[in-house]
Structure 1
Amino acid sequence: MRTAVADEAARDGVRVWTVPNALSFLRLLGVPLFLWLVLGPQADGWALAVLAASGVTDYLDGYLARRLHQTSRLGEVLDPVADRLYILAVVIGLALRSVVPWWFAVVLPLRDLLLWGLVPLLRTRGYSALPVHFLGKAATFNLLYAFPLLLLGDGTSAAATLAKVFGWAFAGWGIGLYWWAGILYAYQVYKLLKTTERRAAVHG
């Protein structure tokens, strides 16, 4: 059985191999690299470089997709998937290093787990996903600023303390916006179920 991403790729045809999609694939490759750097040699400087590269490519893939007219359904799928995998990898890595408490590593993936549970409901109305809400992007922006600051705050110097303070400030906003966006998404699903007729299941 083909995966959902493979199905999207087939429908996009020649738009699979675009510059924005290549950047998204590179971002995905950075996820295991970040975990290895943080948990293996604990090369925090290189880990921060991977996070910075992820942030830059996150901006560039959207910008280039619009600038070069290379938007694709596959790109719309890859971008949020890469964001969520980075968030999952970073919170697990930081929790295993005791940089952040375990509740922090649970509360973010829990929101995504609950939303994934809504996907079968969306499919009954002929949708695989809803458009990414700007609050979700704002939440990701705050979290991607928080993570490197929290990693830099893993120390006892004055600079580390300052980084930790700002890191938790960004993290607090990020968690709040992340869950707020999730609640709005769930409400959108609820309205869609109320106003759209169920579609017959497609087999094959």
Structure 2
Amino acid sequence: MHTPESSKDTRYSPEPKDVLWTIPNAISVLRIMTIPVIAVMVSQRHLMISLVLIVVSAASDGVDGFIARRFNQVSRVGQILDPIADRLLILCTILALGFAHILPWWLLIVVGLRDLVMGILILILAQHGYGPLPVHYAGKTGTAMLMLAIPTLILADFQDTHFFGILHLIALAAVLWGVVLYWFAGVLYILQGAKLIREDTLHE
């Protein structure tokens, strides 16, 4: 399998291994399993439980990354599971927030369309023998902003006061910036993927 070059320093990011069961992978699987629970809690407006679950899920994202790097448990499966868990958490939570009338539906379409495009790109790259593309800082920043803004939106919906109204506007602005960065990174991935496919086609 081809692996596009990454600018990451291997001292901080060990080479991925072809192993399935690692502690970081188990954490990622648990994160994915909690996503439907979070979505149901949000859609039914059990906001405090939802907030706690989202915070724990977001914290576990950093924990599994730290464990993977610190104890040399970076795996190819983990490189796929981790972004899948992030995207599913964002997509399902935004869907639930739409059902709860906390976020507009067009936002779900914008986020969902980006992930659909990325899914198609991954499938096309796989046909050419390429694995996951290196993570771009813009994508990580956009994901982080969305994962911080979503629980803030839930928190802002607790009370109908001036303070929580301002908090809602700030969180909504963060969501919009997060979506912009999310799509900006998506365009970069598309350009990078197109370059790899073009080079692969020329070498055939």
Structure-1-length-normalised TM-score: 0.85
Within 5 Å, give how 1:1-204 maps onto structure 2.
Answer: 12=18, 15-40=19-44, 42-154=45-157, 155-197=159-201
Question: Structure with the greater relative contact order (CA < 8 A, sep ≥ 6): 1 or 2?
Answer: 2
State the 1:16 CA deviation. Answer: 2.0
Q: Which ranges of structure 1 fall in alignment gaps of 5 or more residues?
A: 1-10
Q: Number of aligned pairs?
A: 187
Q: Secondary structure at the residue paired with 1:117?
A: helix
CA distance in 1, matches of 2:102, 2:123: 36
Inter-CA distance 198–57: structure 2 relative to 1 (3 Å threshold): farther
Deviations 1:44-67 (A, max 9, x none): 001001110111100011111000
Q: Secondary structure at the residue paired with 1:98?
A: coil
Q: Which ranges of structure 2 fall in alignment gaps of 5 or more residues?
A: 1-16
State the 1:197 CA deviation. Answer: 3.5
Deviations 1:157-177 (A, max 9, x none): 123213202201211210110
CA distance in 2, matches of 1:62, 1:89: 22
Letter in 1 for 2:36: P
CA distance in 2, matches of 1:76, 1:198: 28
Segment of structure 1 superposing worse, 124-133 or 73-82: 124-133
Whether contact under 8 Å (1:122, 1:189) holds in the other structure is yes
Structure-2-length-normalised TM-score: 0.85
Letter in 1 for 2:128: R
Letter in 2 for 1:133: H
Identity, % of aligned positions: 38
Partner of 2:10: none
Letter in 2 for 1:144: M
Query: Following TM superposition, where does structure 1 have runs of at least 4 consecutive aligned residues deviating by more than 3 angstroms?
Result: 197-200
